[in-house]
Structure 1
Amino acid sequence: MNKTEATLKERLKELTCLYEVSSIIGDANDDFVEDTLKEIVFSLKRGFQFPQRTNCSY
């Protein structure tokens, strides 16, 4: 994979993460704020360049 492909792949991950977070917020229920925040945290982890090296806790 060349540098351009790698850059585009990372950008796609970032945009997917933003879409997931906005969808989670759009579907959020005020009664389940903690669950919503957990979903956001795990979605953000997948958006990082090296998610396997990223540690997210809630």
Structure 2
Amino acid sequence: MAIFNAEKYLETSLNSIINQSIGVENLQVILVNDGSTDKTKSIINEYAMKYDNFFSYSP
């Protein structure tokens, strides 16, 4: 999931992924910060620390 300055909507989007009927444990989520200048990086890092199958990358 490529993300750029999505601070306002990011948590809603990630929580939607978590609440999918397939079950969060059956997903692998790769979050790529595409040079955001807002709090996007800290949000994706927070989710990556909370869920073992969420991975954050900031080039």
TM-score by length of 2: 0.36
Question: Comparing both structures, which one devotes a greater share of its residues to helix?
Answer: 1
* Larger strand share, 1 or 2: 2
TM-score for both structures, normalised by structure 1 = 0.36
